[in-house]
Amino acid sequence: MKELYVIDLIQDFLEHVEIEMGRSINTARNYELYLNRFYEICSEGLKGEMKPSDITEEMLRKYRLRLNRFETDNRHTRLTATTQAYHLIALRGFLKYLARRGINSLDPSLVDLPKTHRPQVTFLHYDEIQAMLDEIDLETETGLRDRAIIELLFSGGLRVSELCKLNRDDINLDKKEFVVRGKGSKDRPIFIDESAAERVRDYLTVRHDSLPALFLNNSRNSGLPDTSGDYRRLTPRSIQRIIEKYTRAAGITKHVTPHTLRHSFATDLLMNGADLRAVQSLLGHSNISTTQIYTHITDTHLKDVHKKFHTETN
C-alpha cells in the first residue's frame, strides 16, 4: 500500500474543501495558508516526511504554543486569538477529513478552540447615514452611483462581496427584491425599500454602456477590456474608498466600512422590534450565535423595562 504523507493529504483536503464542500476559493486559500503553516512548524525535527500518525496531542500542544508566540513580521506582531482559532479550525477540518477516509491520525475532537472576545460592533444611526447621503453630488453619474451603493448596502444588508457581484439583470427594481449567493454558496432573498430602488434606477438611467455589472468604476485607468466584460466592475476596495470619502465629508469619526452598513441594517431592524431569527435569515447567518453579536446594541430598550417595572426604594 502506498505511504500517505501529510503534505499530499493537505492538497487533497483543499480540493475537497473547494469542490465537495463548495467553499469559496478564498476560503480554500486561507485553509492552505493555515495548514501549510501547521506543516512548516510541526515538521521541524521529524525524520522524513510527516505522516498522519505523526500528529499527536503533544504535537498539537507545541503547535498551539508556537501559534501563540508566532510573529508575523519584523515589528513582532502577534497572531490574535481569533486568527489562532482560524488556524485550529482548519486543522480540525483536516483531521475530520482524514477520519472520514479512515486514515489514522489525531482525534479531531481533541482540537479545542481558544476563547475569543465577542467583536465590538460599529454601526451608524439613521441620521449619520443621512449625513453621508447629503454629501453626495447627485448631478454626476459618479454621485448617483455612490448614492445607490450606500442605500443598497443599508437597505438590503448586503455583504460588499455580494454587492460587487451584482449584475443589472440580477435585481428586480419593481418588486424591490432579488436573490444573492452568499457565503457557502447559499442563496438568500434581499429586500430593499423604494428609496434604494429609485436610486439604483436613477443611476442606471444615466448609464450609456451595455456592460452587465450593476456598479462600474468610472476611472479612466480601469484597464483594458477583458473577455468577460468585467473590466470596469467595482471591487470591494473601491467601495471601501467610496464609503471612507463620504464618512469623512459628513464629519463621522467612527471607523466605517461597507460592513458597518450591514451592521447598521441589522441593528436598525432589531431596535425597531424585529425578531432575531428573522434578522438571522435576512443576514444569511447559518448560526443564530453569529446574529447575537447585535443583541447587546439593543439593550437600551432594557432601560425602559427597568424604569417601568422595577420597584424604587424610598
- Known catalytic membership, residue 165: no
Mean pLDDT, to the nearest integer, of 120-127? 87
Give yes or no for a contact between 270 and 279, defined as CB atoms under 8 angstroms apart. Answer: yes
Q: 125, 262, 263, 306: which one is catalytic?
A: 262
- Asked which of 50-54, 68-72, 108-112, 244-248 is least confident by mean pLDDT, the reply is 68-72
- Confidence band of 227 (pLDDT split at 50, 70, 90): very low
- List of domains in the chain: 6-110 (1.10.150), 126-303 (1.10.443.10)
Q: List, for residues 257-295, the tens digit of each pLDDT value.
A: 999 999 999 999 988 888 888 989 999 888 887 888 777
Q: 34, 97, 246, 294: which one is catalytic?
A: 294
136 closest CA partner among 243, 237, 218, 215: 243
Q: List, for residues 160-208, the tens digit of each pLDDT value.
A: 999 999 999 999 999 999 999 877 678 899 999 999 999 999 999 999 9
pLDDT at 287: 82
- Known catalytic membership, residue 16: no
- Known catalytic membership, residue 159: yes
Q: Which residues pair with 177 in a beta bridge?
A: 172, 191
> Which residue has better confidence, 36 or 285?
36
Cell numbers standing for residue 292: 447575537
- Known catalytic membership, residue 294: yes
Q: Would you say the C-alpha torsion 129, 130, 136, 140 has a positive or negative sign?
A: positive
Q: 37, 147, 159, 233: which one is catalytic?
A: 159
pTM above 0.75, yes or no: no
pLDDT at 116: 66
pLDDT at 122: 87
Q: 87, 145, 233, 285: which one is catalytic?
A: 285
Q: Is the pLDDT of residue 226 over 60?
A: no
Q: 66, 183, 188, 207: which one is catalytic?
A: 183
Q: Three-state SS for 181?
A: strand
- Confidence band of 229 (pLDDT split at 50, 70, 90): low
